[in-house]
Amino acid sequence: SQKIEQNSEALNIQEGKTATLTCNYTNYSPAYLQWYRQDPGRGPVFLLLIRENEKEKRKERLKVTFDTTLKQSLFHITASQPADSATYLCALPYTGFQKLVFGTGTRLLVSP
């Protein structure tokens, strides 16, 4: 069955450094992959979508890569700030585009 893995341990980094989060998947051939941010007590907020034919996508301080051979996506936040502290979720479409399957999320803590 389809499986998405994200590092369940929290990632602690210092302000100004680059945070890198990993999303690995098996038994999928997704047409795209999405990343969401979730703050405590809130619903996920969409950040970026990357298609299978795109190797890299950027938005301000965010960069996402998508390696369909390795079945992996990397999510980078450059020049990290304490306000970036949150849980980051990757999500893949299941059948067609009607349903998203989410990873467990990785909690990022950025210290001043």
Partner 1 sequence: GAGVSQSPRYKVAKRGQDVALRCDPISGHVSLFWYQQALGQGPEFLTYFQNEAQLDKSGLPSDRFFAERPEGSVSTLKIQRTQQEDSAVYLCASSLPSGPTTEAFFGQGTRLTVV
Q: Enumerate binding residues for partner 1 (CB under 8 A).
A: 4, 6, 8, 31-32, 34, 41-46, 49, 51, 89, 91, 93-94, 96-105
Q: How far is the CB of 48 from partner 1 (least distance, A)?
A: 10
**Of 41 and 112, CB closest to partner 1:** 41
Q: How far is the CB of 102 from partner 1 (least distance, A)?
A: 3
**Of 58 and 97, CB closest to partner 1:** 97
Residue type, 91: A
In the numeric block, which tokens belong to residue 18? 């680059």
How far apart are the C-alpha atoms of 71 and 16, rounded to whole Å? 29
How far apart are the C-alpha atoms of 33 and 71, rounded to whole Å? 11
Q: To 5 degrees, how large is the angle CA 32–CA 82–CA 75?
A: 20
**Of 80 and 87, CB closest to partner 1:** 87
